[in-house]
Amino acid sequence: MILFGATGDLAKRKLLPGLFHLAAAGMMPARYRIIGSGLPHDAPGTDDFRTHVRAAVDNYGRTGHGAGSWDPFAVNLDFAPATPTEPQALRDAVAKAEQDLGGPVQRLIYLAVPPDAFVATVRMLGVTGLGTGAKLVIEKPFGHDLDSAKALNRELRAVFDEDRIYRIDHFLGKEAVQNILAFRFGNGLFESVWNADHIDHVQIEVPERLTIEGRADFYEQTGAFRDMVVTHLFHLLGFLAMEAPARLDAASLHEQAETVFQALNPVDPARTVLGQYDGYTAEPGVAPDSTVETFAALTVEIDNPRWAGVPFHLRTGKGMTQSRHTITLTFTKAPQDLFGPADCTSGRDAPNELIFELSDPGSISISFRTKAPGADTRLDDASLNFHYADSFTAAHGLLGYERLLHDAMTGDHTLFTQAGGIERLWEISAPLLAHPPRPLPYRQGSWGPAETDRLIAPASWHLPEPR
């Protein structure tokens, strides 16, 4: 594996600890080498790189160094600097690693670099032959609009066959996200009500407490809509809204996700609220007059028989009061409602909701009303709850990046996103990108601009849950 961006933030937090976990769990190939790469000015030697990886595992990993698992992993780590114009040290390191491994070697190249370095790196991989026969895992954002996404896809395909390109959305690697498919298509009870006849509206909420955490270079080029909505939230929507695939294989799933994206109406700036947390423009590296949004909330609709007229409300932002990944499906009320708000202890005539909490370890709950014991008829709010942690331990599952690294190694495309789907998402985003509303200020530690409530009225956002 050649890991570009090996001393960067993503490698430190997710990729290196994830690779170590796979090794400790016996899920790496029998023989492998991981060659970190990066720009020469901060290039560590082999020993320093191993120390760097060990610190990343200690600080961000979930797997301890017990049972002698560190040394057998560490011997496989090396570092070689490279730039698009000076690739020789990397070529030498790869040649040496492949000689050591012997036999036919499968190369896996991981691009965890800033988006403005994608094209030059991919061209270098083409010119040097390092990309020949290799698989490529590429981090988002895949372009910043339709034209740039198409141009990027052309550059990638000039060096790599499409079936060797793995475009990562790490949300799709999360166990609880994959469980949306199991829940929908493995349970007749729910699939039969999964449509506009029974579902009033859907919410996808991904608030984050963290701010941009020193990522100004990246964030000033992207903003919340590109960083989170196009990249993650729309793909969650794809899993929620797709028709049943003929089979659970990559081609069938991709086809169904893309069909949903084709039916998504263009994003309407009038049904979008952007925000910027107070203090954003004072962050190091941020322009003092930056209008980049750190918050986005929007309503989209899917123009097909299953979903016509059902609003999908999406909300995400940095510097908010909670970190959550919550999907809420709100059901239509019973046709004949015998019970009104006055009959409910809460005073609310609450509709049934199905709630997926996707943050690890994840849960699924269904809210309903039940008769409170007693001589009169009063309804209390109640819920059925499934918590992953009650049934499974963390050791059963892989974290998002672990699962996807493993899938790329074994050649399974199922949980990766596809060029056609991504291009369509940029296409529907065009009206908003052309005419973005001005970001409204919001207080750090809040739920974003109050204006957001307008999007969902007369309903209200699921978060925060009532105490």
Active site positions, annotated: 232
Binding mask 231-250 for ligand BG6 (x = CB under 6 A): x-------------------
Residue 93 marked as a ligand binder: no
Residue 333 marked as a ligand binder: no
Residue 6 marked as a ligand binder: yes
Residue 7 marked as a ligand binder: yes
CA–CA gap between residue 321 and residue 282 (Å, rounded): 20
Complex with ligand BG6: residue 231 or 418, whichever CB lies closer? 231
Number of shown-chain residues binding ligand BG6 (CB under 6 A): 3
Complex with ligand BG6: residue 220 or 343, whichever CB lies closer? 220
Q: Which of 227, 283, 407, 423 forms a contact with ligand BG6 (CB under 6 A)?
A: 227
Complex with ligand BG6: residue 82 or 180, whichever CB lies closer? 180
Residue 170 marked as a ligand binder: yes
- Give the pair of three-digit tokens for residue 277: 């947390």
- Shortest Cβ distance from residue 132 to ligand BG6 (Å)? 29
Contact predicate 177/236, CB 8 Å: yes
- Shortest Cβ distance from residue 214 to ligand BG6 (Å)? 12
- Shortest Cβ distance from residue 227 to ligand BG6 (Å)? 5
Complex with ligand BG6: residue 208 or 402, whichever CB lies closer? 208
Q: Which residue is nearest to ligand BG6 (CB)?
A: 227
- Give the pair of three-digit tokens for residue 369: 């009303």
CA–CA gap between residue 343 and residue 376 (Å, rounded): 10
Pairing of strands 165-167, 199-207: unpaired
- Shortest Cβ distance from residue 222 to ligand BG6 (Å)? 8
Residue 8 marked as a ligand binder: yes
| 3-class state of residue 172 by DSSP | helix
Complex with ligand BG6: residue 87 or 400, whichever CB lies closer? 400
Among residues 169, 211, 172, which one has the least CA distance to residue 295? Answer: 211
461 DSSP β-pair partners: none
Complex with ligand BG6: residue 57 or 236, whichever CB lies closer? 236
- Shortest Cβ distance from residue 145 to ligand BG6 (Å)? 18
- The crossing angle, in degrees rounded to 10, of helices 234-241 and 250-263 is 110
Among residues 425, 446, 455, which one has the least CA distance to residue 276? Answer: 446
Residue 129 marked as a ligand binder: no
Contact predicate 416/168, CB 8 Å: yes
Among residues 32, 240, 11, which one has the least CA distance to residue 139? Answer: 11
Residue 10 marked as a ligand binder: yes
Complex with ligand BG6: residue 116 or 191, whichever CB lies closer? 116
Q: What is the DSSP letter of 331?
A: E
Residues 80-119 binding ligand BG6 (CB under 6 A) are none
Binding mask 152-191 for ligand BG6 (x = CB under 6 A): ----------------------------------------
- Shortest Cβ distance from residue 177 to ligand BG6 (Å)? 10
- Shortest Cβ distance from residue 252 to ligand BG6 (Å)? 26
208 binds ligand BG6 (CB under 6 A): yes
Q: Concatenate the DSSP letters of all residues of 201-241 into one string.
A: EEEEEEE-S---TT-HHHHHHHHHIIIIIIIIIHHHHHHHH
Pairing of strands 108-111, 2-4: parallel
Cβ neighbours for 283, distance < 8 A, ≥ 6 positions apart = 211, 212, 216
Residue 5 marked as a ligand binder: yes
CA–CA gap between residue 383 and residue 401 (Å, rounded): 32
Q: Concatenate the DSSP letters of all residues of 363-392 into one string.
A: EEEEEEEEEPSSSS--EEEEEEEEEHHHH-
Contact predicate 202/330, CB 8 Å: yes
- Give the pair of three-digit tokens for residue 53: 């990886």
Interface residues with ligand BG6 (CB under 6 A) are 208, 227, 231
Known binding residues for NADP(+) are: 5-12, 140
Annotated binding site for substrate: 170, 174, 208, 227, 318
In the annotated binding site, the residues are 5-12, 140, 170, 174, 208, 227, 318
